[in-house]
Amino acid sequence: MRILHTMLRVADLNKSIEFYTKILGMDLLRKKDYPQGKFTLAFLGYAPEKEAAALELTYNWEQGDYQIGNGFGHIAVNVDDVYQATKNAKQMGAKIVREAGPMNAGTTIVAFLQDPDGYEIELLSK
């Protein structure tokens, strides 16, 4: 068994795809419209889906904004250098929620970004 994907509902699919591909370096693996259901699915990731888990973005054509809720935490992304990745993300216009630095009560270097819908992305070094 393995995790296949994590799904997030997004308000602006193109803006979200741009964030995940340009700022986080993911590839758009596949995208499909479902006219009868009035939604589009886009799958993004760092490797083909048969090799690694993906991120599924669901865009419901007639839905506005979503409430993230208080149960969701974050998506963690591994980067070579958290400080540099945070600097690069900031230069590309990403919202930084927590600057790079040691985690609370630990030494691991972390940073947090927000995607266009407000979902938090944690950057961790290898």
> What is the mean pLDDT for each group of 10 consecutive residues in the chain (126 residues)?
91 97 97 96 97 96 85 91 97 97 90 95 90
**How many CB atoms sit inside 10 A of residue 102's CB?**
10
Do residues 102 and 109 touch, judged by C-beta distance below 8 A?
yes
Q: What is the pLDDT of residue 66?
A: 85
Quote the domain boundaries for residue 108: 75-125
Q: Is 106 helix (H, G, I), strand (E, B) or coil?
A: coil
Tell whether 80 and 53 lie within a shared domain.
no
Tell me whether residue 69 is in a domain. Answer: no
- Long-range CB pairs of 58-62 (<8 Å, 24+ gap) are 58/7, 58/8, 58/9, 58/10, 59/9, 59/10, 59/11, 59/12, 59/13, 59/16, 60/9, 62/38
Residue 80 confidence (pLDDT): 93
Nearest CA to 19 out of 76, 89, 96, 73 is that of 89
Task: Give the CATH number, domain containing residue 96.
Answer: 3.10.180.10
Q: Are residues 50 and 26 in the same domain?
A: yes
Query: Active-site residue 51, yes or no?
Result: no
Listed residues 37, 60, 83: the one ending a domain:
60
Task: Report if residue 68 sits inside a domain.
Answer: no
Helix or strand holding residue 91 (H, E): helix 82-91
Catalytic residue among 18, 56, 62, 122: 122
> Residue 67 domain-assigned?
no
Residue 65 placed within a domain:
no
pTM greater than 0.95 (yes/no): no
pLDDT score, position 9: 94
